[in-house]
Amino acid sequence: MFSLLDFCEKCENGLANLDTIMAGNENNLQLFEVTVSSRIDLLVASWRLATKQQPNSKDEWHGLMASNRSVTINDVASAAGVSRATVSRALAGYGRINAETVAHIRKVAQEIGYKPNAIAAAMRSGKTKTIGLVVISDFTNAFFDRATKAIIDQAKSFGYQVLISHTDENITVERQAVKTLLGNQVDGLIVVPSSAVVHDHLAPKQVGGKPVVVIDRRLDGVRYTTITTGDLVAAEEATVYAIESGHRQLGFLIAVPGIKGFTDERPLIPISSVQERADGFASGVADAKLRASQVAWVYCEDTETAAHSAVESLLDAKVPPTIIFTSNNDMLLAVLKVAGTRGMRIGQDLSVISFDDSPWAAAMVPGITVIGRPVEELGRLAVDELVEAIEGKNNPKKIVLDAELIKRGSVANLNKISTAKSSSSKRA
C-alpha cells in the first residue's frame, strides 16, 4: 500500500508515467467510473484505483470533496451501501425501488456533493434536455422580451434549459446561430426567422431532422409547426376604428428590415408578420374608399435615427395626418418623442395606434391604443408543441392566435370634437 503523496512522486511530471504506475490494475478499470476536471482529479482517482481504496466515513468523503475531485455515481453507491444500478434508478426516478431507499440515496448524494454528469446522461438518453434555440430577432423588442420569458418558464416546467441567440434580423447571423446550437446537440429549435423567403439553413436535412417550431412569422415551403397571430385582421380593424372615430388623414409608419433610411414606396418586405400588418392597414383604407391624398405611407429602417426623420416627414407634410399607425414599439417611441419635442398632445393634437402592448403603453397618460397579441400564450404553446415533437409526436400544424385591439385614450374622437364645434357655432 502506498499513499497519495507516494503515488504522485512516482509520477514523473505529474502524469508522465501513469501507465507504468497503473500496470497490473487494468482489469479494475472497467469497474471504476471517474469524471475528471483537472490533472489533480485524475491523479487522485488513479491512486484510488491502484490501491483499491474507498473512503469509509463522511469525513473522508468531505476530505475528497475538498480536494476538488468530482464525486461519481460509484462514490454515491459506496457511501450509501447500495449497488450502482440502485443509485442510478433512485436518482433518475425510474424502476422499482422503495421510497425510503430513494430518500436515503438522494440524501447521501447531496451530502457528499454528487452532481449528475449532464453529458453522460445525454449520451445514455440521446437527449440533452436543451431547447436550442430560441432565435430572437430583436431581444430589445417588447414582444420578444415577453415571448422569451414565457418560453424559458414553460421549458423549465418540462425540465428543459433554453439557449438563446440574438440575430438582429440578420440572415447570416441566423445561419451561424443555427449551426452553433445544433453543434451543441440541442433537442429542438424554436425559431423567429429573419426571412420568409431565404431559409434553406432550416431545411430538415440541414437541421439533422431536429424538430423545429416557427413563431411570429410564416415560412413558405417547409413542414414545421408555425404559431402566428392574426395581424392582418387586427390591422384592418384598427384602421376602421380610426376612420369611424372621424380621422380622414392617416399616416402609416412601418419598420422594414433591410432598407436604409425611409421611403414612401413599398419595398420588398421579407417578414410575413410585417407584410400582414401593411396589408391589413391597406385593406382598411380601401374599405373606407379614402383618396390617395388622405393616406401617407412611410417604410422605415428600424433605427432610432431613421424613425425620427420619418416621423418628422409625416408631420411636416402639407396636410399632416391626424393619426399615425406604427408597426412596432420602436416606431411608436419615435412618434412620441417627436410629438413631445413639438409640444403636441397625444390623444388631442395627434392620435396613435401601435402594434404590441407593453406595461409603459398602458401606464402612459393617456394610455396608448394598441393591437395586443397573446405573447405569453404563443411562447408557452411553442414549447408545448416542440416538446411533443421531441418525444416523437410530431404533427406539424398552422396555429393562428387572435390579436386584439385594446382601446385607450390615444385616439381622439374627431366626430365628437366636430359636433361640439358645430354646437358652439350655432349658439354664437
Residue ranges matching CATH 3.40.50.2300 in the chain: 125-226+376-395, 231-372+405-420
Enumerate the H helices of 191-316 as residue ranges. 231-244, 272-288, 304-315
pLDDT at 43: 45
Please tell me the distance from the alpha carbon of residue 248 to that of residue 271, in angstroms, as a whole number.
29
Dist CA 82 CA 86 (whole Å): 6
Half-sphere exposure of 313 (CA within 13 A, CB side): 17
Determine the pLDDT at residue 244: 97
Architecture of domain 231-372+405-420 in this structure: 3-Layer(aba) Sandwich (3.40)
For the record, the C-alpha cell of 280 comes out as 391589413
**pLDDT at residue 35, rounded to an integer:** 32
pLDDT at residue number 101: 93
Q: What is the pLDDT of residue 422?
A: 53
Alpha-helix runs per DSSP H in 81-215: 84-92, 99-111, 118-125, 142-157, 171-183
Contacts of 76-81 with CB under 8 Å at 24 or more apart are: 76/105, 76/108, 76/109, 76/112, 76/114, 78/54, 79/55, 79/108, 79/111, 79/112, 80/104, 80/105, 80/108, 80/109
Please tell me the predicted confidence (pLDDT) of residue 220: 81
pLDDT the model gives residue 420: 53
Cell of 132: 436550442
pLDDT of residue 145: 87
Three-class secondary structure of residue 240 per DSSP: helix
Q: What pLDDT does 198 receive?
A: 82
The three-class DSSP label of residue 165 is strand
- Residue 215 cell numbers, joined: 413563431
In which residue ranges of the chain is CATH 1.10.260.40 found? 4-123
Closest CA to 275 of 343, 195, 347: 195
Rounded Cα distance between 75 and 65, Å, is 11
Q: Is 125-226+376-395 a CATH 3.40.50.2300 domain?
A: yes
SS3 per residue for 327-363: CCHHHHHHHHHHHHHCCCCECCCEEEEEECCCHHHHH
Contact 191/135 with Cβ under 8 angstroms?
Answer: yes
Q: Specify the pLDDT at position 113.
A: 87
SS3 label, residue 318: coil
Q: What are phi and psi of 159, to 5 degrees?
A: 85, 20
Report helix, strand and coil shares of the chain as percent, to nearest 5.
Answer: 45, 15, 40
- In angstroms, the CA 75 to CA 119 distance is 18
Residue keyed to cell 469525513? 59
Q: Residue 153 corresponds to which cell in the numbers above?
A: 418558464
CA-only gyration radius of the chain, Å: 31
Closest CA to 183 of 127, 136, 132: 132
Q: What is the pLDDT along the chain (428 residues), one digit of tens a residue?
A: 444 444 444 443 333 333 333 333 333 333 233 333 333 444 444 445 455 455 555 555 555 555 556 788 889 999 999 999 899 888 877 778 899 999 999 999 989 888 776 555 555 555 678 888 777 766 667 788 899 999 999 999 999 999 998 888 888 999 999 999 998 889 999 999 988 878 889 998 999 899 999 999 988 888 899 999 999 999 999 999 999 999 999 999 999 988 999 999 999 998 999 999 999 999 999 999 999 999 999 999 999 999 999 999 999 999 999 999 999 999 999 999 999 999 999 999 999 999 999 999 999 999 999 999 999 999 999 999 999 999 988 889 999 999 999 999 999 999 976 555 555 555 55
What pLDDT score does 219 carry?
Answer: 86
pLDDT recorded at residue 272:
92
CATH fold for domain 4-123: 434 Repressor (Amino-terminal Domain) (1.10.260)
Q: How many residues does the chain have?
A: 428
Round to whole Å and give the CA distance between 199 and 203.
7
**Taking a C-beta distance cutoff of 8 angstroms, is the pair 106, 90 a contact?**
yes
CA distance 412 to 421: 15
161 burial class (0-12, 13-18, 19+ CB within 10 angstroms)? middle
